[in-house]
Amino acid sequence: MADDLLVTHEGAVRVLTLNRPDKLNALNPALHEALAGAFAAIEADETVRAVLLTGAGRGFCAGADLGQNIGGEMRDLGASIDAHYNPLVRRMRGLGKPVVAAVNGVAAGAGANLALAADIVVACDSATFTQAFIRIGLMPDAGGTFFLPHLVGDARARGLAMLGETVTAREAAAMGMIWRCLPDAGFAEAALALAATLAAKPAQAIAAMKVAFNAAFTNGLDAQLDLERDLQRGLGRTADFAEGVRAFAEKRPARFNGGS
């Protein structure tokens, strides 16, 4: 169903709203296909400078749709992960534009890890995060075993995954799993304002940061220092850098246009 994902435009921000509220926006193949199409369009559209990913209703995303005959010994979960979850996480991390996850409610299973694949995660006070996989005999996927230890440390990652306990947005922020917990009232507006702020930042600097942060997961210090040098060399040749320095000298706000 095309309406499983709402795609709207707010200036330079592309807003993607998971829209299966009666299923807490659980991910089925149609929603995955819609997400893949939306991210492909975002990649190709230079006017899009930031992405905001959120959910309709009281949930952000409850992970894989368990009503779609997901159980059963004949089902190859690896095939579904190959076809949908892994490309989605790679796409979000590889996108040269910032992705904000606005977690508006429950985020469970792959839904929680979909949020963690974003560059910046904000959640409203009433939102929760659950590595629900263990409850149905699975382990975290969609990058969970990768993101969690980096974000919250190995001890907490193992506790979260193996116990499957629910943590509040406030707890998630306190343990470094997400950027910030925001009030319920005005959450959607605050999340959009955050995405708009990112959209107005120097685009190539943000893209370079994503490359560097992604590489930092595996690089040693020497390789990372070299990568920073190479990326910064490129940024030093951009119009945004020239504008930033000019604006500083002229004591005025910079007007970045993402130009090279």
Cα 18 from Cα 54, distance rounded (Å): 6
Stretch that binds ligand T3D, among 136-144, 146-154, 167-175, 244-252 (CB under 6 A): 136-144
Interacting residue with ligand T3D among 136, 162, 163, 242 (CB under 6 A): 136
110 binds ligand T3D (CB under 6 A): yes
Closest approach of Cβ 189 to ligand T3D, in Å? 24
Comparison of 23 and 93: residue with beta carbon closer to ligand T3D: 23
Interacting residue with ligand T3D among 60, 133, 187, 256 (CB under 6 A): 133
Comparison of 128 and 204: residue with beta carbon closer to ligand T3D: 128
205 binds ligand T3D (CB under 6 A): no
Contact 25, 110 (CB under 8 A): no
Closest CA to 243 of 233, 258, 231, 228: 258
Comparison of 102 and 112: residue with beta carbon closer to ligand T3D: 112
Interacting residue with ligand T3D among 17, 19, 54, 130 (CB under 6 A): 130
Residue in the structure block whose two tokens are 């910032």: 98
Q: Which of residues 13-72 bind ligand T3D (CB under 6 A)?
A: 23-24, 26, 62-67, 70
x/- track of binding to ligand T3D for residues 70-109 (CB under 6 A) = x------x--xx------------------------x-xx
| Residues whose CB is less than 8 angstroms from the CB of residue 225 and which lie 6 or more positions away in sequence, other chains included | none
For binding to ligand T3D (CB under 6 A), which residues are involved?
A: 23-24, 26, 62-67, 70, 77, 80-81, 106, 108-110, 130, 132-133, 135-136, 138, 141
